[in-house]
Chain A
């Protein structure tokens, strides 16, 4: 056990000793400095471990041999140990990272670094207010020294703004401290009385000045222009200290002062925190300078923690957990990002494409970014979860909204940035070789981030039950990323299969159905992966993360597990989608809609805990006053995944641009996650009423319009994959409608549509993907006549569209028949008519697809096209086999599903008599129809064959023409703008109204951002005015007058 005072001694001693060294021994001096930092890290870490394992006890450290309040004392408790550990970590690794740079600049920079870290350590530990002031000044001055590391115009201006701002803040802090001393006779924090005195002016004002100046040091909006300029102006390696170390220390100071806060100040604090969180993330929208952007994010994150501190009294014993989770993530992630930024050294985020030349750094960048945004398994995920849950539990809806909105805005620019890095035109230059001392800090931060994620989940009463094995397996694929596709694909299939096998005994009802779609479906689509050659780096980890999420949804017992899995699935699918060629904007909008949806789900799960114990999914069945709100939120969340009308604009691009075997994964499989969510929700919650109207009634209409618009849009596409994507929207609209019916047959129909959609959409995407694979184009009008070249693909498309269109005798008809009966039963006649109208519109695109691609005139350049690869065809034919079986024996599929539904919705179940199904209104025998149709067909066909024995095959252009013969397939193939007349008639429905709406929302957000950020006009003086104004406003807010 080393007394923490030795942290000061070591850092100071070494700093003074550095004076002995000349420029020649600078390397040794630098190493010594790092040694001192390592020593401090060791001491604080030792204390942290000791205190956590309760081998040490929290200790007061007295100086001057006199007891406080007569001397300055430091305190080392768990909090102090943790925070000094964080600070010293940043100090050591930040120093290591900057080592070469600092050596070049001379020993003074090492002195500044050491003093900064020492100052912050004392700031965290001290219990004396004036001591706090002195060491804050030390860290400010040291920071001001470090800011000008590069000694250029920008860093000078930024540094000056920093000095004058912190100067005035420090002065105000000093006034507060001296008056506090005057009123209490002591400088010790522990001697300050608490209670109602705080609201009395005078004493209260003194506390107010102290608290406000600490708050100001944390750069609250709008008095934070100086901080932003510093982030932009200085070297990224220095920003790490400002963002991660100083911010951390000051937050701890604020935490120390919690007992002194009056409720009104605490409220002001949380308001400022919330405002900062939202505003800085909003302003980040327009920002293109990476460091300034990170600065916005950093300020926002700290604002969030400030908000949490302000709400501390309401968060109860969860407060520390939440704050540490959020702050820990901020520290490691922001440090990592700034460090990466220091390596890249580009002043526009669009130029960051160079990052992707370095795989490791790119992965790390992704890790930090996901951590910042609160994705699992990082600590902030659990922090945000707890925060939202607690806020909801207290009925703080508006806080919840603020936090979620702010997080969302942050996601916008961070994911945009990630998209730029992954997808923008690559820079030609290679990245400079990176020395180990720059790598190491980044890697260690990432490792710590992940480790602390697991740690936080272990500490959480519910999260410790989360099954991490699938995620770990997925992560393991990163390690074997260099192996060839064949091996990885086999392993992936094996692991998904194994998981399904292990899960199988526990599966029942809908979980069985959806687990089969997710995992068995996953295996089938993964089979197509064998068609790829080379390594296909990055694909398997992401695919498996998605499957881990999907499987996790099935396994989830609690809302936390469910949300965890939901987020995992979102990440995995995002990375799969962004692999596509032109998917940069589509992946972004996918992510944003998904996140928006996820936040809605999070809010709903939070609200569900009100008046409920535990977080088991079953609490949804036993709800409180918020039930309708929860229902709506969950529905919105799930509908972002099913891409219901209004929330669908991400889908076409995302699915169309994805790779051949990714499209079926994200379309046929992933969308079902939303359906699964809806089913789980509806099973638990039943229908809910709002203003006396059933919500599911609205969902029903929404489903109808989704189906119509989706199908209509599909019919008007030129791009084959986009057509299929819109078709998915339409079909999922049916499914939503079926669920909204809330009747046995409706659900049966919806489920059977979910299953058949999985099958035919997988087949279609793979078949069309195979065509695109060979033809290198997705435009249908550039195809044509491929039936002769790719007959197997043709057959699979043919059967699939027959199923899709619901034409008897194939199984698609089952869905239509069930729907009709359900509609009759429910009395939703108009909706029923419209939904069948949508079904007819589906014929349009079905025909267009098969005609434009496979029929008509073969293009000259496609005369040598080969059939799609075997491995792409194989999954299609597996599925087709199953489809035919289901068609002939519908009860093999529908009967068990009906039995699953009966416990929840017993009325109106089908009556089965062999393959004959009876409903209240009609009847249907799939098997006999199959026999009859096949019988008639074969008979007629035989007749044709018999009569046309000597038929002669003609050449391609041997067609009936009145005038001269056409000779160009391009002019003869009628495919472009195939439904021009239809567009003319009903095109008004196909206007991109929804896209325009969302674009408008985005535009408004960005222009508001641009307007507001003008307050940071760059003048240091203006920033001073902001600070004074901020103090005045907060004062008025806290005291309600002077």
Chain B
């Protein structure tokens, strides 16, 4: 039962975060929100008895891919300020 509640809460947060990711004006925030969706997803994976997936999602989905997003964003911003 507790699992259910956690799952529902997680789900609500994820949907909210997804909304932020889509609609927030600042790309930085949007990216972080998207990373958060991934992070919460990995918690959900643990609930779903999938530790391997959770580990992967955490390290890749909310880790590396956010880093890459930021690198690119940073690069674009830098370009803007330089020119």
Chains A and B touch (C-beta atoms under 8 A apart): no
Residues of B near any A CB (own CB < 8 A): none
